[in-house]
């Protein structure tokens, strides 16, 4: 991936940071993007040659400014996401809107920012981080599930539009990955989820990063419109 620039959203921690480290190890110049500047600065210090930009995916202006600052992007990893869980009956419209705006609309607007440059270069990799719940559903997460299912549909549509330009667009659907977001879940809930995983362990951010690294590589040049499950067999 020498001479390739990778832009990773939600890269200040967890899966996003692992993806940034994996792509940097493969030779890419990496730009880390997230809302928390202090976390980004700390994250970048561990990745030689990396840069960072502040990015709020709920703000179209912030998205434009971040990509202008980053310059040419060859590899886009749409990883940033938020949750505002509740049962559908009780879910506030603003919580629905906020999750869709960041997780789905923000990812779409980020894709729009990188497509002109990728089309000009006739090379590009777009990797959208969906979720196992986007395939299987999950009670109490109608907004999050809709956003992640929407990412899968978005992936397949853009893959068809951009195939002739040598731009591949794929999605990764992680299962239960050990991150700050999942660390706060009750032990009883974790035990119930683990029982559904044939490999009998939860995933690590590096498991997702390895899949991202592969889909961004030349070895994956003939793969597009695909959803790669990284879930230990939790959903098949």
Q: What positions carry a catalytic annotation? A: 144
DSSP character at residue 76: E
Structure tokens at 10: 């939600």
Burial 139-178 (b: 16+ CB within 10 A, else e): eebbbbbbbbbbbbebbbebbeebeeeebbbbbbbbbbbe
Among 19, 138, 131, smallest CA distance to 75 is for 19
Q: Which residues pair with 169 in a beta bridge?
A: 126
* CB neighbourhood size of 20 (10 A): 31
Q: Are 75 and 124 in contact (CB under 8 A)?
A: yes
**Alpha-carbon distance 42 to 81, whole Å?**
20
Q: Residue 27: left if φ>0, alpha if ψ -120 to 50, beta else—which one?
A: left
Residue 104, token pair as written in the block:
């789905």
């Amino acid at each position: 991936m020498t001479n390739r620039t990778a832009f990773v959203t939600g890269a200040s921690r967890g899966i996003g940071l692992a993806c940034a480290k994996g792509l940097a190890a493969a030779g890419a110049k990496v730009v880390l993007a997230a809302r928390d500047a202090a976390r980004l600065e700390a994250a970048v210090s561990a990745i030689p040659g990396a840069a960072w930009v502040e990015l709020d995916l709920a703000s179209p202006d912030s998205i434009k400014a971040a990509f202008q600052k980053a310059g040419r992007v060859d590899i886009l990893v749409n990883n940033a996401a938020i949750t505002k869980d509740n049962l559908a009956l009780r879910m506030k419209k603003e919580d629905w809107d906020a999750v869709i705006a960041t997780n789905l609309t923000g990812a779409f607007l980020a894709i729009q920012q990188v497509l002109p440059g990728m089309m000009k270069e006739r090379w590009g990799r777009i990797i959208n981080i969906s979720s196992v719940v986007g395939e299987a559903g999950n009670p109490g997460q109608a907004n999050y599930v809709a956003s992640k299912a929407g990412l899968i549909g978005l992936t397949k549509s853009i893959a068809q539009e951009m195939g002739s330009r040598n731009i591949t667009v794929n999605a990764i659907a992680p299962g239960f990955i050990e991150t700050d977001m999942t660390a706060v879940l009750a032990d009883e809930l974790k035990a119930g989820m683990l029982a559904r995983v044939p490999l009998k362990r939860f995933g690590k951010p590096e498991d997702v990063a390895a899949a991202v690294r592969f889909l961004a590589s030349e070895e994956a040049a003939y793969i597009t419109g695909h959803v790669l499950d990284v879930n230990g067999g939790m959903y098949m």
